[in-house]
């Protein structure tokens, strides 16, 4: 039995056995959770012909403070029509279309890497926003993976401490993905951190057979789930290039007035094996010249 199948079984058992009372913070989503569980139990109610894989916590649940996140400028599921929510609605549309397109046209389309040339251009910020925006969809679930194994920042943005994750699974064959996958208080969002330990052979681990198997299964068996990978800078690390070669889609973040044309060209060269590349023009300024306007629209490069 594969690691993903084991994870699915464990999660299913956990779903059936769960009698935990919701905390105050979970009350707002408890009805949706019940609806989701009964949905999983009754395949007859499947939405648009896709079997939603179970997504209930094995042990750990991460509470995400949505008010705090909203103040940081991040999209939250109940936010309504804010500017940033609208921009990510536009950005995610083509990505979702590709994610569930015919695999003969886009292979592993549900594996989406958020990349950029250099540091600080907004990869992690856009990864979290994209994940949050997709998690607010009725029929899509999201797994956000912190694949910036050298300098992980997803726990910092979402407000929780470092936990076991990707590198731990790749290093320890006994470790099951369900042991480290984190359910969050956002109903359709699960997380996989970069892992507790930094590792000098991170590139080899990401390029290795076990990572390949993990990605294949995430793409095929969990075809109903969008998997977003936050990543290290393409031009500064070899991990990012290795990862890019295995993705179905890549979103390249370009920082307004910062990322040079040369850097964009070099980054595009690094990821040219990917058939679906979109760009986000990030941190563009408002016409007043003072505040961030937010994002340009994503568009298809290839
Ligand atoms: N559109 C935006 N509006 C406002 N702030 C932004 C925006 N995009 C990014 N930032 C801010 O810019 C900083 C750098 O962003 P982020 O950490 O996402 O970059 P990164 O590309 O992931 O960097 P690294 O390569 O170091 O991981 C953060 O403080 C983030 O909050
Ligand atoms: Mg980052």
Q: Report the nearest atom of ligand 1 relative to the CA of 292.
A: 3
Per residue in 59-102, pLDDT (tens digit) is 568 999 999 999 999 999 887 788 999 999 999 999 999 999 98
Comparing 208 with 11, the larger pLDDT belongs to 208
- Two tokens, residue 166: 């990707």
Q: Report the nearest atom of ligand 1 relative to the CA of 126.
A: 18
* Residue 197 Cα to ligand 1 middle (Å): 23
Q: pLDDT value at position 292?
A: 53
H/E segment holding residue 212:
helix 209-220
Residue 175 pLDDT grade (very low, low, confident, very high; cuts 50, 70, 90) = confident
Check which CATH number belongs to the domain holding 10 and give it.
3.40.50.300
* Residue 204 Cα to ligand 1 middle (Å): 27
Which CA distances in Å does 171 have to 46, 82, 162, 164, 289? 36, 42, 17, 11, 48
Mean pLDDT of the chain: 79
Number of domains forming the structure of the chain: 1
SS3 string, 60-114, reads CEECCCHHHHHHCCCCCCCCCCCHHHHHHHHHHHHHHHHHCCCCCCCCCCCEEEE
State how far the Cα of 156 lies from the Cα of 283, in Å rounded to an integer: 20
Comparing 219 with 70, the larger pLDDT belongs to 70
Percent of the chain with pLDDT over 90: 54
- Two tokens, residue 230: 């936050």
State how far the Cα of 299 lies from the Cα of 302, in Å rounded to an integer: 9
State how far the Cα of 150 lies from the Cα of 145, in Å rounded to an integer: 14
In which domain, by residue range, is 164 found? 3-300
Q: What number of CA atoms fall less than 13 Å from residue 225's CA on the CB side?
A: 24
Residue 113 pLDDT grade (very low, low, confident, very high; cuts 50, 70, 90) = very high
Mean pLDDT of 272-290: 83
DSSP secondary-structure letter at 146? E
* Residue 138 Cα to ligand 2 middle (Å): 28
Which residues contact ligand 1 via a Cβ below 6 A? 73, 116, 119-125, 148, 151, 153, 233, 282-283, 292, 294
Q: pLDDT value at position 217?
A: 78
The answer to whether residue 273 scores a pLDDT higher than 60 is yes
Q: pLDDT value at position 259?
A: 96
pTM, two decimal places: 0.79
């Amino acid at each position: 039995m594969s690691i993903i199948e084991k994870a699915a079984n464990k999660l299913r058992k956990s779903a059936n056995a769960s009698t935990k009372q919701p905390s105050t913070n979970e009350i707002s989503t408890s009805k949706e959770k019940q609806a989701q569980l009964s949905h999983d139990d009754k395949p007859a109610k499947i939405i648009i012909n896709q079997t939603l894989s179970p997504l209930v916590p094995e042990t750990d649940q991460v509470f995400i403070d949505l008010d705090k996140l909203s103040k940081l400028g991040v999209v939250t599921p109940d936010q309504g029509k804010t500017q940033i929510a609208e921009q990510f609605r536009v950005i995610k549309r083509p990505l979702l279309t590709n994610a569930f397109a015919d695999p003969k046209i886009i292979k592993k389309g549900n594996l989406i890497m958020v990349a950029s040339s250099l540091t600080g251009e907004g990869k992690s910020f856009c990864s979290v926003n994209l994940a949050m925006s997709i998690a607010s969809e009725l029929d899509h679930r999201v797994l956000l993976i912190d694949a910036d194994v050298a300098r992980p920042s997803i726990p910092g943005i979402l407000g929780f401490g470092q936990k076991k994750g990707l590198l731990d699974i790749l290093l320890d064959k006994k470790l099951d993905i369900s042991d480290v996958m984190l359910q969050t208080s956002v109903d359709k969002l699960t997380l996989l951190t970069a892992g507790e330990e930094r590792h000098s052979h991170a590139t080899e681990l990401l390029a290795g057979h076990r990572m390949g198997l993990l990605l294949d299964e995430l793409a095929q068996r969990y075809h109903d789930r969008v998997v977003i990978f936050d990543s290290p800078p393409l031009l500064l690390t070899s991990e990012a290039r290795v990862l890019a070669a295995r993705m179905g889609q890549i979103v390249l973040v370009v920082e307004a007035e910062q990322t040079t044309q040369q850097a964009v060209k070099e980054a595009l060269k690094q990821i040219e094996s990917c058939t679906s590349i979109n760009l986000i023009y990030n941190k563009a300024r408002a016409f007043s010249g003072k505040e961030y306007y937010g994002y340009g629209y994503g568009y298809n490069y290839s």
